Chain A
């Protein structure tokens, strides 16, 4: 009897050890041939399927940039649409390799949740949207006491909302849904007076309402919402890859390297551009990252620099028409600052 028990326990211990191995996400990704990327269930400009059923948006393009750097193929991505509630569990459990889903960088997510943020692809802030036709005379969030507020559950938005109304001694009536589409429907049908989420989200959602022109976004911004890609804690190599794909896009914009002029840039004699694009003799920056030396050139070739990615998805070339604002490069008065590639 005891021998059987021992044998079973022994094998259990072995299986346990086997189960807790493998943290090298980059090797896993290379082995399976695609990046598994967690995106939102549909937020125009960030991640939403287009009329051909293909995912587009800023968050989606960033996933494609990672795939381009690793595989030289922006299509080597598989997307997992995740609700706000599901996203961290999906990343923690290894269901997705990277979470690029307008997720706010906070200390508790960095620590208690066991995650690492790789950068801030979009600096945002929380705002309020109301139906100006039904609620005439309201021009400030401070007039909203007593309102029913639609909000998505499990977001920093929900917490900021509670803090803001408390700090200003106002009452409100939270109407909380798990899925973005349910919040949209409820707001559109008049269940709430106010919709609150990140301002970029408000502009995107306004386009999907039944009469977009009736709705206005109030001027107050009540929080800092730095949105960026997230990876699991404890895999520094993969964190480096994700982080430097983002910095490469920023540096490319700063150096004037774009999808359009990549051919010429490859022949450039500027040492900074040569280091970025891996055309330098004997350079091994890419190899140190675990990729090829032309990794950044691949990103620019397939996805473009940060500015191109921004304008295409949320900026002037998109229906959202959001201005660069604080998302401009640091050289132009914004906050986007690419760490030096050298």
Chain B
């Protein structure tokens, strides 16, 4: 072939060109690259031609158009007069919200269940085993449907709401709780909280230095807690209790006022958290079991008791095993959040789908979906890789 001969002219002539593995390797790579390039070029060209032939509008100009539909659950101001771009942004924030909260909850529940699986207490051990086996072996969509339709049908209508402490209510429209209304001087409280955090950081540094120098320990935890609660509380008293509550109250159809957590969000969040927690529990268990028993024996031999052994010896080593598979669970949770569309939670896929239908811009919307989910996943992965690098074994 012409390609190989031109490339190989300068190479050492001992090996026949056709059999030089280096030349061959480069030639294959070029071939694959050109093939891929041509394929993508063809796809784009063909799509453009087909769209033009069918008189379908294309381009991203539609994002500026008036959406005309409402979204029930929005973290930012949105009305039917907003643009399609805004609608997609609302959906994106909703995806982000359920993913972040879900990841936090799934991690906590997963760690608890995973440690519980290792417990020597028969009952705790078995309960955790049943939890893992049940949730791990049901498709996530069914778990979501269970939380949505199963739990929804049990809950009463707004006028028969279940009353909970602190002026909260639970009914088929969701979970309602009082809204905090901060009065004048509330900024001072926030300032005090920030100040407390800064103090804590300094105290920790100082205590660590002192322990390294003298071996004396300082009650960091209690000091920190005192600062964290004491300072804002002081500011709260000084400014004269600038806090009032807006309680939810019954109107014709609904509870008005307060903060409403809609059942769509609640069920998706709970379903994703509990589903992913089952996998995280197994990862945690594997991680802890993966730390050689000799490590804890050695720690015991040095005189460390059970809790410091777990905290200082076993868990730091287990984390090295846990973090990489944990990352893929986080990615799974984020991607599974697109199942929201089945229960009407307005995430990116749902609002994008409506936009797609109103504007007919299928290719553009699907491209936006792909880019956003890819971006979210890559960002999560990048963060976890950074964390993993921090926790990884440092060879000295």
Residues of A within 8 A of B (CB): 1, 3-5, 8-9, 11-13, 15-16, 19-20, 23, 84-85, 88-89, 92, 108-109, 111-114, 134-135, 143-148, 153-155, 158-159, 161-163, 165-166, 172-179, 182, 185-186, 189-191, 193, 232-234
Contact check, A114 vs B80: say whether CB atoms are below 8 A apart: no
Given that A174-B71, A182-B343 are known contacts, is A191 also in contact with B353, CB under 8 Å in the complex?
Answer: no
Are B360 and A234 within 8 A (Cβ)? no
In the complex, which residues of chain A have a beta carbon less than 8 angstroms from the beta carbon of B70?
A: 158, 161-162, 165, 172, 174
B123, chain A: closest CB distance, angstroms: 36
B73 CB, nearest partner CB in chain A, Å: 9
B148 to chain A, nearest CB (A): 8
Contact present for B263 and A88 (CB under 8 Å): no
Q: How far is the CA of A215 from the CA of B57 in the complex (A)?
A: 42
Among the listed stretches B126-134, B251-259, B273-281, which one makes contact with chain A, having 4 or more residues with CB under 8 Å of it? B251-259
Listed residue (A84, A147, A158) with the most chain B CB atoms within 10 angstroms of its CB: A158
Are A158 and B173 also in contact (CB < 8 A) when A16-B42, A16-B45, A146-B254 are?
A: no
Nearest to B153 among chain A residues (CB) is A189
User: Is there an interface contact between A175 and B354, defined as CB atoms closer than 8 Å?
Assistant: no
How far does the alpha carbon of A3 sit from the alpha carbon of B357 in the complex, in Å? 44
> B27-52 CB contact bits vs A (8 Å, 1 = yes)?
00011001100110110011001100
* Shortest CB distance A154–B (Å): 3
Which residues of chain B come closer than 8 Å to A189, judged between CB atoms? 149, 152-153, 172
Query: Is the Cβ of A182 less than 8 Å from the Cβ of B342?
Result: yes
Please state if B69 and A5 are interface contacts (CB–CB under 8 Å).
Answer: no
What are the residues of chain A within 8 A of B263 when measuring CB–CB? 191
Q: In chain B, residues 158-175, which have Cβ atoms closer than 8 Å to a Cβ of chain A?
A: 172-173
A92 and B56 in contact, given A8-B35, A174-B71, A189-B153 (Cβ under 8 angstroms): yes
Q: Does B137 count as interface, using CB distance less than 8 angstroms?
A: no
Report the Cα distance A188→B161, complex, angstroms. Answer: 18
Distance, CA A310 to CA B30, complexed state (A): 64
Q: What is the distance, in angstroms, from A245's C-beta to the closest C-beta of chain B? A: 23
Given A9-B41, A154-B357, A185-B149: A175 touches B72 (CB 8 Å cut-off): yes
Q: How far is the CA of A114 from the CA of B149 in the complex (A)?
A: 38
**What would 16 more interface pairs be, CB under 8 Å, given A8-B34, A89-B356, A154-B357?**
A13-B45, A20-B53, A112-B359, A146-B254, A147-B253, A153-B350, A154-B353, A159-B80, A163-B68, A165-B70, A166-B79, A174-B72, A175-B344, A178-B341, A178-B342, A233-B54
Which of A146, A165, A178 is within 8 Å of B353, CB to CB? A178
* B328 within 8 Å of A (CB atoms): no
* B394 is an interface residue with CB less than 8 A from chain A: no
Q: Does B223 contact A (CB under 8 A)?
A: no
Supposing A112-B359, A162-B68 touch, asked if A9 and B254 sit within 8 A by C-beta, the answer is no
- The distance from the CB of B154 to the nearest CB of chain A, in whole angstroms, is 10
Flag if A176 contacts B346 (CB, 8 Å).
yes
* Chain A residue nearest to B344 in the complex (CB): A177
The contact size tier of chain B is 35 or more
Which residues of B in the span 7-41 have a Cβ within 8 Å of any Cβ on A? 7, 30-31, 34-35, 38-39, 41
10 sampled A-B residue pairs with Cβ under 8 A: A13-B45, A84-B357, A85-B354, A88-B360, A92-B360, A108-B358, A146-B253, A146-B254, A161-B70, A190-B172
The residue in A4, A23, A176, A190 that gathers the most chain B C-beta atoms within 10 A of its C-beta is A176
Residues in chain B near residue A159, CB distance under 8 A: 68-69, 80, 358
A146–B251 touching, CB < 8 Å: yes
- Say whether B157 faces chain A, with CB atoms less than 8 Å apart: yes
Contact residues of B between 239 and 262, Cβ < 8 Å to A: 251-254, 256
- The answer to whether residues A1 and B6 also contact, given A154-B353, A154-B356 and a CB cut-off of 8 A, is yes
Q: Which among B254, B357, B362 has the highest number of chain A CB atoms within 10 Å?
A: B357
CB-CB nearest in chain B for A112:
B57
Q: Chain B residues near A135 (CB, 8 Å)?
A: 253
**Chain B neighbourhood of A166, CB < 8 A:** 79-80
Assess the B357–A176 pair: CB atoms within 8 A: no
**B55 part of interface (Cβ distance < 8 Å):** yes
Inter-chain contacts of B2 with A (CB < 8 A): 1, 3-4
The complex places the Cα of A136 from the Cα of B346 at a distance, in Å, of: 31
Say which residue of A109, A111, A113, A147 sits within 8 Å of B254 (CB atoms): A147
Q: Would A114 and B50 count as touching, CB distance under 8 A?
A: no
- Complex contact A19–B50 (CB within 8 A): yes
Question: Nearest 6 A-B pairs (CB), nearest first?
Answer: A154-B357, A113-B360, A162-B80, A114-B56, A12-B42, A114-B55
- Is B214 part of the binding interface, using a Cβ–Cβ cutoff of 8 Å? no
Closest B residue to A176 by beta carbon equals: B344
Smallest distance from the beta carbon of A186 to chain B beta carbons, Å? 7
Do A4 and B3 have beta carbons less than 8 Å apart? yes
Q: Is the CB of A9 within 8 A of B38?
A: yes
A255 to B264: give the CA distance in the assembly, Å: 54
- Chain A residues positioned under 8 Å from B358 (CB to CB): 108, 154, 159
Q: Which of B152, B157, B357 contacts A88 (CB 8 A)?
A: B357
Are A176 and B172 closer than 8 Å at their CB atoms? no
Cβ A1 vs Cβ B41 within 8 A:
no
Shortest B56–chain A CB gap in Å is 4
| A148 / chain B contacts, CB cutoff of 8 Å | 173, 253-254
- What chain A residues lie within 8 Å of B68 (beta carbons)? 159, 162-163
B253 partner residues in chain A, CB cutoff 8 A: 135, 144, 146-148, 193
Taking a contact as CB atoms under 8 Å apart, the answer to whether B354 and A176 are in contact is yes
Q: Which of B38, B346, B362 has the most CB of A within 10 A?
A: B38
Cβ-neighbour of A163 out of B6, B72, B80 (below 8 A): B80
Q: Which B residues are CB-close (under 8 A) to A5?
A: 34
* A233-B55 Cα distance, complex, nearest whole Å: 7
What is the bound-complex CA distance between A295 and B6, given in angstroms?
66
Q: How far is the CB of A210 from chain B (nearest CB, A)?
A: 11
Q: Let me know if A85 and B80 touch, CB within 8 A.
A: no
Are A234 and B53 CB-contacts (below 8 A) given A19-B46, A174-B72, A191-B152?
yes
A233's closest neighbor in chain B, by CB?
A: B55
Contacts of B69 in A (CB 8 A): 158-159, 162, 174, 176
Given A176-B344, A189-B153, A190-B157, are A153 and B357 neighbors across the interface (CB < 8 Å)? yes
Within B315-358, the residues touching A (CB, 8 Å) are: 341-344, 346, 350, 353-354, 356-358
Query: Which of the residues B46, B71, B172, B362 comes within 8 Å of A20, measured between beta carbons?
Result: B46
What is the distance, in angstroms, from B87's C-beta to the closest C-beta of chain A? 12
Q: A153, B54: Cβ atoms under 8 Å?
A: no
